[in-house]
Amino acid sequence: VVGSTSRPKIDAARAGFERLLPPGAVLRVEGVEASSGVSAQPVGFLETQRGARQRLEAARSSVAGQCADFCVAYEGGIEIGDLGRKVCFAVICIQSRDDPYISEVRSATHSLPPGIEKLIDEGQELGHATDAFFEERIAAGYGKSTGGTIGALTGGVVDRVEYYAHPTALALVPFINAEAYGISRANPLCRGG
């Protein structure tokens, strides 16, 4: 269960899990409404991390989440990078059923053009700022609800699904190697000792 009804986030969870599923495994992915409890545009790692963790908790508390083998949460954030410019990233959290362990991964970080930075400074959330700045690219599938900021910036070479799928797979590493991580081996991805 994904703590969001966003199609790119649901598709990213599916893509991340598909990379690591054991042969013959059946995958069913669904999204649920899950509040982050943070601002619409989290600023800084700590607020973004808190949003991902709270989305995970909300997903796990849902009816679907209580029955799911895994719950996944994504939260995108921005921060000021080393060079004083705004950069964006995401925090991904995954938890298996009946285990308190939460795997948490930070995505790659990428820069934002000054025009998008300006719109964010004026109070717009990153996705809306991207849609306004790259308005002509929305029809090609590079808006907030589709390819995301990274899709608009790369012309679709990397889209929002791929941007989230890679760290999703990385966040699943402890579950595959449960014994090495000292967590429950009772998850469907565990590959034994």
pLDDT in tens, 79-105: 999 999 999 999 999 999 989 999 999
Q: What percent of the chain has pLDDT over 70?
A: 96
Residue 23 confidence class, pLDDT cut points 50, 70, 90: confident
pLDDT in tens, 127-138: 899 989 988 877
Quickly tell me which residue has 């991902």 as its tokens: 52
Residue 120 confidence class, pLDDT cut points 50, 70, 90: very high
pLDDT number for residue 136 = 81
Quickly tell me which residue has 């791929």 as its tokens: 162
- How many CA atoms lie within 13 Å of 111's alpha carbon, on the beta-carbon side? 8
Question: Which residues, in sequence order, are bridge partners of residue 31?
Answer: 2
Q: With 60 as the cut, is the pLDDT of residue 179 above it? A: yes
Q: Answer yes or no: are the C-beta atoms of 30 and 14 closer than 8 Å.
A: no
Q: Which residue has the higher pLDDT, 147 or 168?
A: 168
pTM, whole model, 2 decimals?
A: 0.93
| Residues 6+ away with beta carbon under 8 Å from 78 | 41, 42, 43, 86, 87, 88, 89, 112, 120, 126
Q: Answer yes or no: are the C-beta atoms of 58 and 98 closer than 8 Å.
A: no
| Residues 6+ away with beta carbon under 8 Å from 129 | 116, 119, 120
Neighbours of 132 (CB within 10 A): 15
Q: With 90 as the cut, is the pLDDT of residue 144 above it? A: no
